[in-house]
A and B are shown apart, each in its own frame.
Chain A
Amino acid sequence: MTATPSQTIGRPNGPKPSLKGKSSRGIILADRAATVVLWGTGVLVLTILGAIIVHFALAAWGVVTLNFVVSDPSETALGGVMPILWNSIYMLALTMLIAVPVGILGGIYMSEYAGENRLTNAIRFAEEAISSVPSIVVGLFGLILFVDDLHLGFTALGGALALTFFNLPLMTRLSEQALRAVPQDERSASLALGATKWQTIRHVVVPLAIPGLITGVILTAGRVFGEAAVLLFTSGIGTPPHYDFTNLDLTNPASPWSPFRPATTLSVYIWKLNSEGLGVFKNQIVDGSAAILISMVLIFNLGARFIGRVLSRRLTAA
């Protein structure tokens, strides 16, 4: 490297180092080392995830039995999680009932109608802002709105609305992405046949986007199912009473079907047991509940992938 550039440049006939030379050895070693380190990050993530799954599989062994899933907390020596699991599913359904239509409609606006203007910008800002607000703050917002101001007390409805607030941006964005993935040609073809914009969306764009929309719904559901901080101060942390499923009176807070009752979910229950629980089997119950949560997350995730793949194959084949 001592020769000045003007001497070496344009002198292709000078003595040349062999192509098998060692002059670049240092940078090649650095490259190899970097490759090993980067592979290491991938291996690390898989190891941690694998360890977590194995850990909970072992911890749940002997705890998560049919009895555990179908009993009330006070019913057996170990305790059961039936009403809590019911609440998790109930809250999930109630939240998705609100969040899915609103999110998909919002996604339609953002993908099909929104122009480059201030209003769109404001909606995007709101979307990003809600996504970044800590879940505990969204929970506190629900607390003021539903518990303190509207005097509803801790209710499943309040919790579901707070969860909707928190997850609406995700649902909207995933829907927007799914709709944007529909090729422009499909829209043009429909519009050229004289269909209105809405008819095009309704009969062409949305059906084609269904695999993506379903994936979005399932991913959102996974997040709703595990969320706890939003619910601590909106749907309550009390241990549920024995549920009488024959009571179908939706306005009666004693009915497990009613949205106007407190509803402690699995994630909230884990937190509560950890901070307050004193029982002999506290650790087993938490391990069991966490194992159920993790399995649901796995099911949601793999389900989203599977259904998305099957549907898109069927649609493209048709």
Chain B
Amino acid sequence: MAQLTNTYRATGLRAAPSLRQRIDLPRRVVFGAAASMIFIVVLLLAFITWQGLQLFIKDGVSIGQILSPTWQPDSTSPNLSFGLLPFIAGTVYVTALALLISTPVSVGLALFLSEVAPGWARAIVQPALEIFVGIPSVVWGWLGITILVPFLSHTFHGGMVLSLPIAGDVFRVPGFLTGFSWLAGSLVLSIMIVPTITSVSYDAFRAVPQELRTGSLALGTTRWQTIRHLLIPSALTGVLTAIVLGMTRAAGEALAVQMVIGNSPSMPAAITQPVTTLTSQITLDMGNTVFGEPWQDALWTMSLVLLVISISSVVLVRVINKRRMGA
């Protein structure tokens, strides 16, 4: 405390200007540190946008061509085409299937942790989830290659067919060739996004006041009825936020997906077949192209698409949460 009184030597109640400046200096420093994130975002948006637009500005590629399914970026190719549709579709399909698999498990896990698990079980599962978050994406990819891909190709080599007596084959999926596939990518992603969806949904469930649970149970409802008809509706915006964040993470994940999806630059055909995504194509081609050539410019355009997806999801989360505040 001696130190405090030493620095504070102003005589009147109104501080001298020099002192006020001294008080202000730390404020400016910490503000600078926080505001550096604005600086980074602006710079990142500017650079990626500029590079991403080069394909249109410098190389004169039309928007129509971008939306075509033909990817022939090699300048020696006779019918040069920069169709990004296979990559966008691949990202959307792989992400959608991953969410489909992951959401029920993750929301269930969040409910388990917040409503069902006794203290000891929570004390085991929560740290386990944190370790999950920490496992690097290359390790997930490697596990996919060494365990999941061989498993898929051995087990479902003959393909999957769902037939009905009258309607015939309603659902026919060709067998795996190698195991590197849309399904493999989605499965790896679905595990990777479990912690994201779980932790955000968990917070949403915990935010529902305890009195509501007691109120519902006192009316003679079971725990599951309370979860299903009171907790899930009450926490819906939080759960939606969780799903959007999981989607963002899945769509942006690069290496793990690239390692297991087979990277075939054509439109996704079936969950057993190789596909490609925006991130995996960038990862594969960026190192093999020259700065300034149209092929690389197309990769920058892909990264711009990824940036647009991620910024939109941030806005979406904000809209969802604003609605919650308003309600």
A contact set with B: CB distance below 8 Å: 24, 27-28, 30-31, 33-35, 37-42, 44-46, 48-49, 52, 55, 101-110, 112-114, 119, 122-123, 125-130, 132-138, 140-141, 143-145, 148, 165, 168-169, 172, 193-199, 201-203, 219, 222-223, 225-229, 232-233, 237, 267-268, 270-271, 274-275, 283, 286-287, 290, 293-294, 297-298, 300-301, 305
Q: Pick the contact of A134 from B29, B36, B306 — CB < 8 Å?
A: B306
Q: Which 6 A-B pairs have the closest CB atoms?
A: A134-B252, A226-B136, A105-B33, A31-B222, A109-B30, A34-B224
Apart from A28-B222, A135-B254, A293-B139: 10 A-B pairs, beta carbons within 8 A: A38-B116, A107-B34, A113-B31, A129-B314, A134-B279, A144-B51, A226-B136, A267-B137, A297-B134, A301-B131
Which residues of the other chain, A, contact B177 by a CB distance below 8 angstroms?
none
Nearest opposing residue in chain B for A196, CB measure: B23
Q: Pick the contact of A140 from B125, B130, B191, B282 — CB < 8 Å?
A: B282
Distance of A45 Cα from B124 Cα, bound (Å): 10
Contact A140 B48 (CB under 8 A): yes
Contact B134 A198 (CB under 8 A): no
Distance of A58 Cα from B73 Cα, bound (Å): 44
Q: Mark interface residues in B125-146 (1 if CB within 8 Å of A CB, else 0).
A: 1011111111111110111011
Contact B44 A194 (CB under 8 A): no
Q: Mark interface residues in B280-304 (1 if CB within 8 Å of A CB, else 0).
A: 0011101100010000000010010
Contact B132 A229 (CB under 8 A): no
Of B64-72, B106-114, B152-160, B162-170, the stretch lying at the interface with chain A is: B106-114
Nearest opposing residue in chain A for B1, CB measure: A193
Nearest opposing residue in chain B for A199, CB measure: B4
B contact set with A: CB distance below 8 Å: 1, 3-5, 7-8, 23, 26-27, 29-38, 40-41, 43-44, 47-48, 51, 105, 108-109, 111-113, 115-117, 121, 124-125, 127-139, 141-143, 145-147, 191, 194, 220-225, 227-228, 245, 248, 251-255, 259, 279, 282-284, 286-287, 291, 300, 303, 306-307, 310-311, 313-314, 317-318
Contact B130 A301 (CB under 8 A): yes
Which residues of the other chain, A, contact B8 by a CB distance below 8 angstroms?
194-196
Contact B36 A136 (CB under 8 A): no
Which residues of the other chain, A, contact B194 by a CB distance below 8 angstroms?
45
Which residues of the other chain, B, contact A226 by a CB distance below 8 angstroms?
134-139
Contact A132 B31 (CB under 8 A): no
Contact B222 A137 (CB under 8 A): no
Distance of A144 Cα from B132 Cα, bound (Å): 32
Distance of A307 Cα from B94 Cα, bound (Å): 40
Which residues of the other chain, A, contact B311 by a CB distance below 8 angstroms?
129, 132-133
Which residues of the other chain, B, contact A127 by a CB distance below 8 angstroms?
37
A128-B314 CB under 8 A given contacts A113-B27, A136-B254, A199-B7: yes
Distance of A44 Cα from B163 Cα, bound (Å): 31
Q: Among the interface residues B26, B259, B317, which one has the most CB atoms of the partner chain A within 10 A?
A: B26
Nearest opposing residue in chain A for B280, CB measure: A136
Q: Pick the contact of B116 from A39, A102, A137, A233 — CB < 8 Å?
A: A39
Which residues of the other chain, A, contact B121 by a CB distance below 8 angstroms?
42
Q: Among the interface residues A45, A105, A127, which one has the most CB atoms of the partner chain B within 10 A?
A: A45
Contact B23 A198 (CB under 8 A): yes
Q: Pick the contact of B310 from A129, A196, A233 — CB < 8 Å?
A: A129
Please list 26 pairs of residues, one from A and one from B, whose beta carbons are closer than 8 Å in the complex, sorted by A's number.
A27-B221, A27-B224, A33-B224, A40-B108, A42-B113, A45-B132, A52-B143, A103-B33, A123-B34, A126-B37, A132-B314, A133-B306, A134-B279, A136-B306, A137-B48, A141-B43, A141-B44, A144-B48, A202-B26, A226-B139, A232-B286, A233-B286, A270-B139, A271-B255, A290-B139, A298-B131
- How many A-B contacts if CB must be within 8 Å? 268
Q: Pick the contact of B254 from A103, A109, A128, A229 — CB < 8 Å?
A: A229
Q: Pick the contact of B135 from A35, A144, A294 — CB < 8 Å?
A: A294
Contact A297 B252 (CB under 8 A): no
Contact B105 A41 (CB under 8 A): yes
Which residues of the other chain, A, contact B147 by a CB distance below 8 angstroms?
55
Distance of A195 Cα from B5 Cα, bound (Å): 8
Distance of A267 Cα from B221 Cα, bound (Å): 51
A301-B116 CB under 8 A given contacts A126-B37, A228-B255: no
Which residues of the other chain, A, contact B113 by a CB distance below 8 angstroms?
42
Q: Among the interface residues B4, B40, B223, B227, which one has the most CB atoms of the partner chain A within 10 A?
A: B40
Which residues of the other chain, A, contact B222 by a CB distance below 8 angstroms?
27-28, 30-31
Contact B314 A168 (CB under 8 A): no
A45-B128 CB under 8 A given contacts A102-B36, A233-B286: yes
A8 nearest CB across to chain B (Å): 15
Nearest opposing residue in chain A for B45, CB measure: A129
Which residues of the other chain, A, contact B125 by a CB distance below 8 angstroms?
42, 45-46
Which residues of the other chain, B, contact A34 by a CB distance below 8 angstroms?
223-224, 227-228
Which residues of the other chain, B, contact A132 by a CB distance below 8 angstroms?
245, 248, 252, 310-311, 313-314
Which residues of the other chain, B, contact A271 by a CB distance below 8 angstroms?
138, 141, 255, 259
Nearest opposing residue in chain A for B47, CB measure: A144
Contact A137 B306 (CB under 8 A): yes
Contact B141 A140 (CB under 8 A): no
Contact B38 A290 (CB under 8 A): no
Q: Among the interface residues B4, B23, B141, B317, which one has the most CB atoms of the partner chain A within 10 A?
A: B4
